[in-house]
């Protein structure tokens, strides 16, 4: 197509004569005058550089989704740069650059970023999520009524074990306190204070009743929902820690044993009775391995095949006195270890 301003040259090349040139020149003048309004139209805006255009398109797509989640108070970010980091489809950029920005900019502290009740509760949920109330109540009731034959058989071992608590053991933490079956062996001592830790909150009323029956005033007994992996007491604060039939259902047994050692005072005593795996190669060990998944499901995470005695010996206590026993009333849970470990 020939443009208007190129018509004279085009006609000159076509050899149309002077008369034709004059005629066409006048036509060009008319066209130029009539086209003048078009020439006064505003020029369209120039396109942004490719990089800016790419960023603009990204913002246009992402801005509606970001409006619903404003930045935390105290953060002032350039909307273009912040969205470029967060909305990039490449996850690596979000992980690398997002972490760098978070480290450099002031962020309001989280409620779970320090010690306190909320932090402890979060850790309990991590290692032992809450069960429905009906389940926890049913399990507590079953533990209260269903272990009487076991408690009768283990009584002699417990009496021997708890006799090692001296009059200096005034602050005691019982891990996995359950319904309080151990209180009758030690809780009648004068001026004793006991902290009972258990992830099942429905155990509290049974533990309180057992404490009163043993002669332990409720003013000297505290029940705390917790787990062995994160004991809710400070370092070097306990004269003794007691744990019976608890490490079998602890999610991280190594972490729990380190916690026991942490909370004990120097020279403090850890007293334990735990059911363990049977001897390797035995028929009972084979049966335990078959039933272990079912046991974990029906017994609140209890494991049948843990070598708990070995793990206690390897925790780093200054001394460990480890003994073995077999309790027939416990059936596949028959193999036991019991003893003491001193920090």
The ranges assigned to domains in the chain are 127-342
For the segment 67-74, the average pLDDT, to the nearest whole number, is: 37
Q: For residue range 88-112, what is the model confidence (pLDDT) as tens digits?
A: 333 332 232 233 223 333 333 333 3
Residue 329 — very low, low, confident or very high, per pLDDT cuts 50/70/90?
A: confident
Q: pLDDT at residue 150 above 70?
A: yes
Q: pLDDT at residue 292 above 60?
A: yes
Among the ranges given (242-246, 283-287, 299-303), the one the predictor scored with the smallest mean pLDDT: 299-303
Instruction: For residue 275, give every residue at least 6 positions away whose Cβ sits within 8 Å of its Cβ, in sequence order, or none.
Output: 245, 248, 304, 327, 330, 333, 334, 335, 336
Q: For residue range 235-279, what is the model confidence (pLDDT) as tens digits?
A: 999 999 999 999 999 999 999 999 999 999 999 999 999 999 999
Q: What is the full DSSP assignment across 206-253? A: HHHHHHHHTT--GGGEEEEE-BTTB-SS-TT-EEEEEEES-GGG-S-H
C-alpha–C-alpha distance, residues 228 and 217, integer Å: 25
* The dihedral sign for the CA sequence 198, 203, 206, 209: positive
Token digits for 198? 């258990």
Give this prediction's pTM.
0.64
For the segment 180-184, the average pLDDT, to the nearest whole number, is: 96
For the segment 16-42, the average pLDDT, to the nearest whole number, is: 46
Instruction: Answer for the pair 107, 76: CB distance below 8 angstroms, yes or no.
Output: no
**Which DSSP letter does residue 4 get?**
G
Q: pLDDT at residue 83 above 50?
A: no
Residue 227: strand pairing partners: 230
Question: What is the rounded average pLDDT for all residues in the chain?
Answer: 75
Q: Are strands 264-275 and 335-342 parallel, antiparallel or unpaired?
A: antiparallel
Q: Which helix (H) or strand (E) holds 66?
A: helix 50-66
CA atoms within 13 A on the CB side of 213: 13
Closest CA to 214 of 194, 241, 243: 194
Task: Please tell me the class of the 127-342 domain.
Answer: alpha beta
Between 37 and 328, residue with greater pLDDT: 328
Among the ranges given (16-30, 114-128, 178-192, 318-332), the one the predictor scored with the smallest mean pLDDT: 16-30
Instruction: Answer for the pair 106, 74: CB distance below 8 angstroms, yes or no.
Output: yes
For the segment 106-131, the average pLDDT, to the nearest whole number, is: 58
Q: For residue range 44-64, what is the model confidence (pLDDT) as tens digits?
A: 555 555 444 443 333 333 333
For residues 174, 175, 176, 179, the Cα torsion angle rounded to the nearest 10 degrees is 10
Q: pLDDT at residue 213 above 70?
A: yes
Closest CA to 187 of 234, 242, 227: 242
């Amino acid at each position: 197509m020939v443009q208007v301003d190129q018509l004279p040259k085009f006609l000159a090349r076509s050899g149309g004569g002077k008369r034709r040139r004059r005629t066409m020149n006048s036509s060009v003048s008319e066209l130029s005058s009539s086209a003048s309004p078009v020439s006064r139209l505003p020029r369209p805006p120039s396109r942004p550089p490719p990089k800016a255009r790419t960023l603009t398109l990204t913002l246009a797509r992402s801005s509606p989704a970001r409006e619903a989640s404003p930045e935390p108070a105290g953060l002032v970010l350039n909307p273009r740069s912040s969205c470029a980091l967060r909305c990039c489809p490449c996850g690596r950029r979000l992980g690398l650059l997002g972490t760098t920005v978070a480290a450099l900019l002031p962020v309001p502290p989280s409620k779970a970023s320090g010690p306190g009740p909320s932090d402890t509760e979060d850790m309990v949920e991590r290692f032992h999520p809450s069960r429905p109330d009906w389940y926890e109540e049913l399990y507590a009731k079953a533990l209260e009524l269903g272990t009487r034959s076991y408690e009768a058989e283990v009584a002699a071992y417990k009496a021997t074990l708890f006799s090692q608590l001296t009059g200096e053991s005034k602050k005691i933490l019982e891990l996995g306190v359950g319904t309080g079956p151990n209180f009758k062996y030690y809780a009648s001592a004068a001026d004793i204070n006991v902290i009972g830790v258990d992830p099942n909150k429905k155990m509290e009323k049974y533990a309180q009743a057992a404490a009163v029956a043993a002669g332990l005033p409720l003013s000297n007994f505290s029940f705390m929902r917790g787990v062995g992996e994160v004991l809710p007491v400070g370092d070097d604060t306990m004269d003794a820690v007691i744990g019976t039939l608890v490490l079998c259902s602890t999610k991280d047994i190594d972490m729990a044993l380190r916690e026991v050692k942490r909370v004990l005072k120097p020279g403090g005593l850890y007293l334990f009775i735990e059911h363990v795996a049977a001897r390797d190669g035995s028929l009972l060990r084979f049966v335990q391995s078959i039933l272990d998944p079912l046991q974990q499901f029906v017994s609140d995470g209890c494991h049948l095949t843990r070598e708990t005695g070995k793990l206690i010996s390897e925790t780093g206590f200054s001394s460990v006195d480890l003994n073995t026993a077999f309790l027939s009333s416990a059936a596949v849970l028959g193999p036991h270890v019991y003893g003491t470990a001193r920090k």
